Amino acid sequence: MSLWKIALRSIQHRFFASLLTVISMALGVTLVVAVLSIHGIMQESFTTNASLGYNMIVGAKGGKLQLTLNTVYYLSAPVENIPYDYYLEFLPASRRDAELDTAIRARAHGVRQSMASIETVSALGGGLLPASLLAGAVNEQALERAGAKQLDRGRDGKFLQYTEFAIPVCLGDYLGNFRVVGTVPEMFERLRFGEDSDREYEFATGRNFQAYSDEFGYFEAVVGSTVAREMNLKVGDEIAPAHGSVDGHKHAQMFTVVGILKPSGTPNDRAAFINMEGFYLMEDHAEPIAVDKEAAQRAAEESSDSSDPARDAKSADGEDVASPVAVSRTEARRVPLPVEQRKVTSLLVLSKPRGALGLQYIINKANVAQALFPVQEIYGLFALIVSPLQRALLFLTAMICVVSGTNILVSIYNSMSERRHEIAVMRALGAGRSTVMTVILLESVMLAVGGGLIGWTLGHSLNMLASPIIEAQTGITIGFFDLAPGVKLADLFAMEDSTNPLLQWRISPEVVVLPALVLLAIVAGFLPAMSAYRTDVSRSLGS
Amino acid sequence: MLVLRDVKKHYREPNGHDLPVLDIPRFTIAAGEQVVLVGKSGGGKTTLLHVIAGITRVDSGVIEFDGRDIAKLSEPALDRYRASRIGYVFQTFNLLPAFNALENVELGMAFAKGPKDSAHAKQLLDRVGLTKRWSHKPSAMSVGEQQRVAVARALANRPKLLLADEPTANVDPGNQQKIIDLIRQSCEAEKIALLMVTHSMEVAGQFSRVERLEEINRVGQA
């Protein structure tokens, strides 16, 4: 008869007490598995979020962390903006000129439109022009007069040589509790995500928004999976962003949802993306320009220009432009906001392999903007907040293990008084002290491992049940046999020797659970085992 | 086979006084010999069995078993000696309740160096008349059956000396003689020496050699 069988029989004999101990251990291990899973999900989510598809954020000078939180996670209070010109400096000459040409055309168009409005209002007998309209009109015209020279056309942006791409992001509006991001279609065409930054954004339904579409003009939107689910949005729905805050006033301008992203596990699941051109065309989003009354007067005088854009607009759209209100709705679908009236919150930049530091230096040297490496900031944030939280979770895990181990100790130790007689009998039959000690330790190990296996099964079953929710929240899927993500041995044992290749191996903490349980069982069983070891055979036998 | 010379043993009482229990100048048992030991309660009979079994160490003296002084053996060696040379039948049977009859007999073999032969364990149960009861746990057996299992367990390692401490004290009168016969016949068949403690003069009367503890133990004489 093996010692294992003797230990097993002993467990079976104290079935109820053993069952309670196993349940206690199982619950402990279930918690351990849950904590390790949470730890792993946080780690993986962090890794996914740190793999942004870009390596630099350019934004207004100020708090780096706030800029990172805003741009990467769509969190924290909104930050200041930078001029749109800055974005143009990342573009090649062709695209830059195109943007400037658009601006020039828009400006000319704006002037014509403004003049038409002035005419209309005058014709209707309005002696006084609305100040903003007048100011806008006047300044547009003044800018037009300044001509293309001022716009510095025909050259590459000065940061282009350092840059693979730059994607502008305009923040400030909300859709429910979610941030609205004004951006360009490249956001989902060029950005990649995932641990290796190689996964493309995909659409569960619909398509990416377009810079301009005949159907919806500039007012197309794409929403993240979480936003779609929580706000019950589908393709074709119209959304109206709230200005400035969750409780801000809703813009009158509606955007049509043309696509819903598949879950990516990135913060983009929790944001609504609207075409940047549409973003600029919402009220309050254009930068105000200084009022120049003389220019306004001149503009009014020049309002009899032969090429009347308002009429063009009428012929194109078949709508009456006599009313300024009617003009705005229709024209907004066609005419982008001039460059000078635009600002961006930040730029998502992927620098060329050797251009990052140079680009950062140049940008930071000037007073306009700052460039930062988001991964650096995220790792800083991780070290500041998430790591302590993870350490707390791991500490909790260790405490759970200690409690479970104590339960084993108490259970076996309590049984020792009644078992002393059995141990004495075994000793009388020739069992050595070390043999009876081994039997007790084996019993402890069997209780721990049995409880551990039940707990592991229970924990992974719970993980599997929670998998759809976790996937929806983080984009991470968990199967029954998926272990918590591996950590470096060096990290696991808090060793700093990063040169030892062995310490660079990654193993799942769950792999350590079983040996740890055995170790814990041996530690927990040691006290009762010592009690068995010291049993006075003669006294315990009685007769 | 077994020779005790000048064996002394005392216990320390709670008040700190020494309580002498054994002071035996000489006591011997020959190979295959059957000896019955009688004496007053609390006279040290069980202590003497424990001393011979190597369960209790003596204060002084020699306990020679097959020419080897077991009083000088290390504890592991004493465990091996107990497992392989001694069979022990207790007054209260001391079967382990978690094990069935067969497993209790196998447990007797578990700590000895010899083969863990399940067939041999079944043969022993067969010999004690429990062929069909091997899978029953002690709680499902009568006291007579339990003591038979205890005898089978004591014989499991083919010991040279069987120590029986009042083996019929807790057995019903109808079964007492059966147990005595079983023990004696088994010892005779296996050529095992027997030292049996009993209070029953009826039982003692069946043995050719009866020792009174008071006669061999100076403590009792004082």
| Residue A115 and residue A17 share a domain | no
**Closest of A449, A520, A513 to residue A484, by C-alpha:** A513
Helix (H, G, I), strand (E, B) or coil at A164: strand
Of A400 and B139, the structure prediction assigns the larger pLDDT to B139
CA atoms within 13 A on the CB side of A310: 23
What would the mean pLDDT of A374-380 be, rounded to a whole number? Answer: 83
- pLDDT confidence of A405, banded at 50, 70, 90? confident
**Average pLDDT across chain A, whole number:** 78
| The last residue of a domain, from among A353, A372, A391 | A372
Hey, what domains does chain B have and what are their CATH numbers? 2-221 (3.40.50.300)
Residue ranges of B 70-99 with Cβ closer than 8 A to chain A: 75-76, 79-80, 82-84, 86, 88, 90-92, 94, 96-99
**Which residues in chain B have Cβ-Cβ distances shorter than 8 Å to A3?**
110
B185 Cβ contact partners less than 8 Å away, ≥ 6 residues apart: none
Beta strand B209-212 pairing with B34-38: parallel
pLDDT number for residue A80: 87
Whole-number pLDDT of residue A495: 62
Which residue has 């160490």 as its token pair?
B57
Interface list for chain A against chain B, based on CB atoms closer than 8 Å = 1-3, 5-6, 9-10, 12-13, 421-422, 425-433, 435, 537-538, 541-543
Let me know whether A277 and A355 are in one domain.
yes
How many angstroms separate the CA atoms of A370 and A70, rounded? 14
Q: Express as a percent the part of chain A with pLDDT over 70.
A: 76
Q: What is the pLDDT of residues A474-515, one digit of tens each?
A: 666 677 877 777 766 666 666 665 667 777 777 777 888 888
Does the pLDDT at position A307 exceed 50? Answer: no
Q: Give the pLDDT of residue A518.
A: 87
**Longest CA span, chain B:** 52
Read off the pLDDT of residues A50-62 as tens digits, 9 standing for 90 and up: 677 888 999 999 8
Q: What is the DSSP string of A103-143?
A: HHHHHHHHHHHHHHHHHHHHHTT--S--HHHHHHHHHHHHH
Whether residues A407 and A285 share a domain: the answer is no
> Are B92 and B149 a contacting pair, CB within 8 Å?
no
Q: Is B109 on the interface with A (CB under 8 A)?
A: yes
If you compute the radius of gyration of chain A from its CA atoms, what whole number of angstroms results? 34
Count of domains forming chain A: 2
CA distance A408 to A518: 12
Share of chain A above pLDDT 90, in %: 25
Q: Say whether both A200 and A310 belong to one domain.
A: yes
Render pLDDT for A118-158 as a digit per residue (tens, 0 to 9): 555 555 544 444 444 444 544 545 455 445 445 577 888 88
Nearest to A415 by CA among A1, A12, A2: A12
Three-state SS at A346: strand
Total residue length of chain A:
543
pLDDT at A134: 47
B153-205 residue pLDDT tens = 998 888 999 999 998 888 888 788 888 998 999 999 989 999 999 988 888 99
**What ipTM was reported for this prediction?**
0.91
Question: Are B83 and A422 a contacting pair at CB < 8 A?
Answer: no
Higher pLDDT, B164 or A36: B164
Residues A253, A177 share a domain: yes
Domain of residue A398 covers 3-50+380-541
Domain end point (choices A337, A353, A372): A372
> Do residues A206 and A235 touch, judged by C-beta distance below 8 A?
yes
- Could you say which of B79, B97, B112 has the minimum Cβ distance to residue A13? B97
So what's the pLDDT on residue A493? 63
pLDDT at position B28 = 95
Q: What is the pLDDT confidence band of residue A469, given thresholds at 50, 70 and 90?
A: confident
What's the pLDDT score for residue B144? 86
pLDDT one-digit tens code per residue, A282-301? 877 666 544 444 544 554 45
User: Residues near A20 by Cβ (< 8 Å), separated by ≥ 6?
Assistant: A411
Contacting residues for A512 by C-beta, under 8 A, at least 6 apart = A492
Q: Which residues pair with A272 in a beta bridge?
A: A180, A223
The Cα of A410 is separated from the nearest Cα of chain B by a number of Å equal to: 21
Q: What is the pLDDT of residue A434?
A: 92
Q: Which residue has the higher pLDDT, A139 or A381?
A: A381
Same domain, A306 and A368: yes
Domain final position from A354, A372, A390: A372
Going by pLDDT thresholds of 50, 70 and 90, the confidence category of residue B41 is confident
Strand order in the sheet with B18-29: B18-29, B2-12, B60-65, B68-69
**Does residue A45 sit in the same domain as residue A101?**
no
Prediction pTM value: 0.66
Q: Is the pLDDT of residue A311 over 50?
A: no
Does one domain contain both A295 and A395?
no
Choose the closest CB to A13 out of B79, B84, B98: B98
DSSP letters spanning A56-101: EEEEESS-HHHHHIIIII--SS----EEHHHHHTTS-HHHHHHHHH
- Please give the structure tokens belonging to residue B41: 């309660």
Per-residue pLDDT reduced to its tens digit, B76-108: 999 999 999 999 998 888 899 999 999 999 988
Residues in chain A closer than 8 A to B98 (CB atoms)? 9-10, 12-13, 422
Cβ atoms of B163 and B120 closer than 8 Å = no
Pairwise CA distance, residues B205 & B209, whole Å? 9
Q: Is residue A170 pLDDT above 80, yes or no?
A: yes
Nearest to B116 among A1, A9, A541 (CB): A1
Inform me whether the pLDDT recorded for A334 exceeds 80: no
Cβ pair A405, A520 in contact under 8 A: yes
Residue where the block lists tokens 């309209």: A133
The answer to whether residue B10 neighbours chain A at the CB level (below 8 Å) is no
pLDDT of residue A101: 76
Same domain, A459 and A506: yes
CB-count burial class (<10 Å; 0-12, 13-18, 19+) for A471: middle
Lowest mean pLDDT among A21-35, A162-176, A301-315, B68-82: A301-315
Answer yes or no: do A183 and A272 share one domain. Answer: yes
Same domain, A433 and A472: yes
Q: Which helix (H) or strand (E) holds A369?
A: strand A369-372
One-letter identity of residue B93: F
Collapsing DSSP to helix, strand or coil, B125 comes out as helix
Q: Are residues A390 and A366 in the same domain?
A: no
Which of chain B's residues have a Cβ under 8 Å away from the Cβ of A430? Answer: 79-80, 82-84, 86, 111-112, 157
